[in-house]
């Protein structure tokens, strides 16, 4: 069965469910709210998502996180370099 990602409007959690193409998840797995939005799983076409401020979501956050990790690595390297001298 295909998997879908939903976002709960109430608790703002993302979760993944698998169900048939013609079915739809009706309630949040966390708070059982029925206010769900399906998150389109097309990472390259996210215009709709990014145009809404608060929905810039996990994709962007992950990118930022990765960037930060890279920066940390860089910093560490620099510190090691300095110490080495
Ligand atoms: Zn919820």
Dist. CA 42 → ligand 1 center (Å) = 23
Given this model, what pLDDT does residue 33 score? 96
Given this model, what pLDDT does residue 2 score? 87
What is the pLDDT averaged over residues 43-61? 59
With contact defined as beta carbons under 8 Å apart, do 68 and 76 qualify? Answer: no
pLDDT band of 75, cuts 50, 70, 90: confident
Q: How far apart are the first and last CA of the chain?
A: 57
Q: For residues 51 and 21, which has the higher predicted lDDT (pLDDT)?
A: 21
Given this model, what pLDDT does residue 73 score? 80
37: CB partners within 8 A, 6+ apart:
6, 7, 9
Q: How many Cα atoms within 13 Å fall on the side-chain side of residue 23?
A: 11
pLDDT band of 24, cuts 50, 70, 90: very high
Q: What is the separation of C-alpha 3 from the centre of its chain, rounded to a whole number of angstroms? A: 15
* Protein residues placing their CB within 5 Å of the ion ligand 1: 8, 10-11, 28, 30-31, 33
pLDDT over threshold 70, residue 83: no
12: CB partners within 8 A, 6+ apart:
none
Q: How many Cα atoms within 13 Å fall on the side-chain side of residue 8?
A: 18
Dist. CA 14 → ligand 1 center (Å) = 8
């Amino acid at each position: 069965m295909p998997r879908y990602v939903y976002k709960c409007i109430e608790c703002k959690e993302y979760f993944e469910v698998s169900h048939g193409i013609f079915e739809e998840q009706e309630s949040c797995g966390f708070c059982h709210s029925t206010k769900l939005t399906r998150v389109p799983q097309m990472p390259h076409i996210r215009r709709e998502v990014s145009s809404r401020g608060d929905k810039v979501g996990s994709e962007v956050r992950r990118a930022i996180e990765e960037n930060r990790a890279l920066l940390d690595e860089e910093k560490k390297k620099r510190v090691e370099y300095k110490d080495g001298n």
